[in-house]
Structure 1
Amino acid sequence: MAKEKVILAYSGGLDTTAIIPWLKENFDYEVICCCIDCGQEEELDGLEERAISCGASKLYILDVVDEFCDEYIVPCVQAHAVYENKYLLGTSMARPLIAKKLVEVARKEGAVAICHGATGKGNDQIRFELGIKALAPDIKIIAAWRNDKWTMDSRESEIEYCKAHGINLPFSADSSYSRDRNLWHISHEGLELEDPSLEPNYKHLLVLGKTPQDAPDVPTTVTMTFEGGVPKSVNGKEMKVSDIIRTLNKLGGENGIGIVDIVENRVVGMKSRGVYETPGGTILYEAHQQLEELILDRDTYTMKKDMGNKFADIVYEGKWFTPLREAEQAFIESTQKYVTGEVTFKLYKGNIIKAGTKSPYSLYNESIASFKTGDLYDHHDAEGFINLFGLSSKVRAMKMQEVESNK
């Protein structure tokens, strides 16, 4: 009889390498590995040979970079979704897409289960599993690190397990940063970062760029265009979103942009310290907001800020495949109809400095905003407005005076 199949979310790292023989030994499954390429670059090198040599029957490598950019990154940029004022959701926004693709492969292969190697302390277990439950509630989920049959608790024990199963791989038991990379960002955890009192060792840590101190002493001027809230060009060259992000990553990395050191609140209740590199994403967020400031009316802009914070929470918590995310995104997309125009800014030693914004839908009116008196604004109109706007404050002050005088 043919064995039942399990789809393993496979990165090629030590954890998922050890999980292949573990699944075969403890569940007697046929293990099919699936790597979702969201822009991991050289991390994908040699994956197929490694997966097969460890006992997998096959490996899928699915290139979803453009889908990731167009359907997951762009909505977050448009929402200006930032978790706890710093984190641009680089890992968070990729997880629902990975879950979606794992389900698609599971359906194609007729698999009964999907397995992931996320630990029981992190957010990714929530994001993967909420996505799978929303899209395929009938498929079993195996979380290796939470399974009673998983006895490994360190890199050393995982390496020994692999060796015992005839797998000799170039993994070291030496401690190193725990990293997650895709086209949008790279995150770093572990080593000195586990002590918030210590400064990050940036010379060994950074991958995508350099520190602001090491950036050039002259600014780099960049011009971007947007149409309907979607980035269209950089320095006069039209590109698809993924290439725009690649271009901005290079420019931002060279100028020390987008390095964030944060102690964040994980969904599971603990605080976690990490350093994120998001050079291109930081530029894209700021450029988009620079244009929105010119175009959105005050009430819409205010409401959108609140919605953006909520959107960030939704993405961070793995609730992408929910009616609430769809409804919030529909509102956000409705605000983007006229977010079209050109923004210019300078990158200089970690800073993004405005250098001009223009749009055919700009609500900035010089004849109103100018210190000169224009036809559309009479300074005397402000007196009645202030009287009404401050009426409640005045009434309260009068009452307090009356109370004090009667003492």
Structure 2
Amino acid sequence: MGEPPVDYNAASSSTQPKRREKVVLAYSGGLDTSFAVKYLSEDCGYDVYTATANTGGFSAQELATIEKHALELGAVKHVNLDITQEYYNKSIKYMVYGNVLRNGTYPISVSSERMFQAIAIIKYAKKIGADCVAHGSTGAGNDQIRFDLTFQVLAPEIKVITPTRDLSLTRDYEINYLKDHGFVGDFKKLEYSYNEGLWGTSICGKETLHSDENLPESAFLRPMTAHDDKRLTLDFVKGELDAIDGRHYDDKVKAIQDLEDLVAPYGIGRDINLGDTIIGIKGRVGFEAAAPLLIIAAHKLLEKYTLTKWQQYWKEQLGNWYGMFFHESYYLEPVMRDIEAYLTKSQRNVTGKVIIDLKPYRYDLVGVQSPFDLSKTGFGEYGEMNKAWTADDVKGYTKIYANPLKIYHYNQLKNGIADDDL
């Protein structure tokens, strides 16, 4: 099998417990976490309990396969933690309220998912009285911080174990290790790695590793198959998606899933985001998120009609901070609850219908219909007719409005200072 990059036996003995301690492993079914099950149970002597926190990215069949493999690898018990509804209620809803897009581009799907997965895993670990908790993140990305920080804050008494990161093992070593221990899985290295969830799919590999390349059509999981234009309507009630083409949804998760199925075939919601990672390097990730991007775009348009200028201004500032804190593992910072309270209050009049034209690879926001439309109040029509003021009112208003500028420029002139900028 070959020698590991580090002293494997030394690493094992340093973590060898005096009794069979209980460890909860955040298990995805991939190579790293599959290796961790076998390594922690056989080489380190732990009773391994595996847990998969589903945020809408796994089918029932996939979850069944994940559980089967976990038990075959030696897990004492496996649980599937369905947190999709909680993820919507405590995360997605507020990201829509805040029109959250990382760098104005990315709907922070993985960032937000990982925080809720980490919370679910550590809650389960505390519930069963685990001595330790483990995850399979490497040392090169954001997820290690998200898991570590959440575990430390919510359960500082529980030890965190990270074999993939600490041992720095190669992919081939992990595969050979599993084979030598009687487990042969389909761990073929693919050109791209995907993370699917309710709020979008991330795509990493090949072109995302180079600054001058874009993802080809073949890299996306949902092919572009729709070629005919389609008019679509989305109804919002107090900022939440309520209906698609007139069909009302009590289940908001189902609404997002149905909208994704409807609009993804148009090839919209695809992009690559370049951002600053928590660990200080630049990270480039591709994604496809048709429903999230369309919902946010429609919601933002409706807000333009139903919110005042200063509501929009301050909501944009707080929305940006909310997204940044979420991305950088600070979901548990109490100011996030304060921002959520503001965002919720700001949505009291964000009710109405948004009309959208879908086209191959793009969409057009046509307009809105809302009882709270501030452009339809009877005070006047922009550029056409003033109904609530007279010409003399405007003349007097402008004279007072100009006073600060008059004072400044008069003072400049009085002191013989020429304004070269004019």
Q: What TM-score comes out, normalization by structure 2 length?
A: 0.88
Q: CA 1:379–1:20 in structure 2 vs 1: closer, same or farther (change >3 Å)? A: farther
- Aligned residue for 2:44? 27
1:118-155 CA-to-partner distances (Å, cap 9, x unmatched) read: 111211111222222232222221223332xx241x22
Counterpart contact for 2:133–2:160, Cα < 8 Å: yes
Shift in Å, 1:18: 0.6
Report percent identity of matched pairs: 28
**Distance in structure 1 (CA, Å) of the matches to 2:73 and 2:387:** 77
Q: CA 1:244–1:164 in structure 2 vs 1: closer, same or farther (change >3 Å)? A: same
Shift in Å, 1:175: 4.7
Return the letter of the residue paired with 1:348.
Answer: K
The answer to which of 111-120 and 351-360 deviates more is 351-360
Instruction: Give the 5 Å matches for 1:167-316.
Output: 167-172=183-188, 174-203=189-218, 205-210=219-224, 215-216=226-227, 218-239=228-249, 240-316=251-327
- Cα RMSD of the aligned pairs, angstroms, is 2.1
* Secondary structure of residue in 1 paired with 2:371: coil
- Aligned residue for 2:11? none
**Distance in structure 2 (CA, Å) of the matches to 1:296 and 1:151:** 52
Shift in Å, 1:111: 0.3
Are 2:29 and 1:12 equivalent residues in the alignment?
A: yes
Return the letter of the residue paired with 2:74.
Answer: G
Counterpart contact for 1:291–1:357, Cα < 8 Å: yes
Counterpart contact for 1:209–1:252, Cα < 8 Å: no
**Distance in structure 1 (CA, Å) of the matches to 2:158 and 2:399:** 64
- Aligned residue for 1:37? 54
Query: May I ask how many residue pairs the two structures share in their alignment?
Result: 397
**Distance in structure 2 (CA, Å) of the matches to 1:329 and 1:299:** 18
Counterpart contact for 2:36–2:164, Cα < 8 Å: no
Are 2:420 and 1:403 equivalent residues in the alignment?
A: no
- Aligned residue for 2:124? 105
Instruction: Give the 5 Å matches for 1:378-397.
Output: 378-397=390-409
Q: CA 1:349–1:398 in structure 2 vs 1: closer, same or farther (change >3 Å)? A: farther
**Distance in structure 2 (CA, Å) of the matches to 1:192 and 1:375:** 57
**Distance in structure 1 (CA, Å) of the matches to 2:198 and 2:236:** 20
**Distance in structure 1 (CA, Å) of the matches to 2:98 and 2:88:** 14
Instruction: Give the 5 Å matches for 1:324-339.
Output: 324-339=335-350
**Distance in structure 2 (CA, Å) of the matches to 1:290 and 1:389:** 30
- Aligned residue for 2:365? 354
Counterpart contact for 2:208–2:272, Cα < 8 Å: no
Return the letter of the residue paired with 2:306.
Answer: I
Counterpart contact for 1:36–1:101, Cα < 8 Å: yes
**Distance in structure 2 (CA, Å) of the matches to 1:386 and 1:194:** 55
Shift in Å, 1:45: 4.7
Instruction: Give the 5 Å matches for 1:80-91.
Output: 80-91=99-110
**Distance in structure 1 (CA, Å) of the matches to 2:176 and 2:125:** 30
Counterpart contact for 1:208–1:249, Cα < 8 Å: no
- Aligned residue for 1:376? 388
Counterpart contact for 1:225–1:342, Cα < 8 Å: yes
**Which 5+ residue runs of structure 2 have no aligned equivalent?**
1-17
1:205-256 CA-to-partner distances (Å, cap 9, x unmatched) read: 101342xxx641x322111212221111111111211111111111221112
**Distance in structure 2 (CA, Å) of the matches to 1:392 and 1:292:** 32
- Aligned residue for 1:124? 143
* Secondary structure of residue in 2 paired with 1:380: helix
Return the letter of the residue paired with 1:84.
Answer: N
Shift in Å, 1:329: 0.8
Are 2:79 and 1:63 equivalent residues in the alignment?
A: no
Return the letter of the residue paired with 2:77.
Answer: K
**Distance in structure 1 (CA, Å) of the matches to 2:235 and 2:392:** 40
- Aligned residue for 2:13? none
